[in-house]
Amino acid sequence: MTPSDLLSAVLLIAGAAFFLAGTLGLLRFPDVYTRLHALTKADNVGLGLVVAGLAMQAESLAGAGKLLLIWLLVLLAGASVAHLVAAAARQRGIKLWRR
């Protein structure tokens, strides 16, 4: 195992940990707004780390670029959809959970 393989494995595992934490947040957080926080942020970082780990294993520059493109598209989609879901929830008068 080369050092770059090791780093790649560490990044992939760290990415998976973020996905796990994001899913846990989705299940544990009390309302739609807080759940969106867990999904957008944890998954964005999780995917970023997975993409970084995979890009290190990519055979070509174009392959790494493709992964980066995927991450950027997911960022854009994630942020826009989170905003749309939150705006729709607000319009329907869904109250936010307060401590």
Partner 1 sequence: MTVHTVVGRQGLEFTPREYLRSGCLRAVLFALMWWTLTDGVMDSWLVGTPVILFATLASVVLLPPFSWSLLGLVRFVPFFLWRSLYGGVDVARRALQPRLPISPGLLDYRWRLPPGLPQVFMANIVSLLPGTLSVELGANCLQVHVLDERKDFLSELEKVEQRVAAIFGISLPLSRGGE
Interaction between residue 6 and partner 1 (CB under 8 A): no
Phi then psi dihedrals of residue 92, to 5 deg: -80, 0
End-to-end CA distance of the chain: give it in Å, rounded.
49
With 0-12 CB in 10 A as exposed, 13-18 as middle and 19+ as buried, what is 80? exposed
83 near partner 1, judged by CB under 8 A = yes
Which regions of 7-53 does DSSP assign to beta strands (E)?
none
- The residue within the footprint of partner 1, chosen from 11, 12, 22, 53 (CB under 8 A), is 22
Q: For partner 1, what does the binding mask look like between residues 42 and 81, x meaning CB under 8 A?
A: x-xxx-x-----------x-xx-xx--x-----xx-xxx-
30 phi, psi to nearest 5 deg: -80, -30
In this complex, which beta carbon is closest to partner 1, that of residue 8 or of residue 52?
52
Q: Are 22 and 46 in contact (CB under 8 A)?
A: yes
* Residues at the interface with partner 1 (CB under 8 A): 17-18, 21-22, 24-25, 28-29, 31, 33-34, 36-38, 40-42, 44-46, 48, 60, 62-63, 65-66, 69, 75-76, 78-80, 82-83, 86-87, 90, 96-99
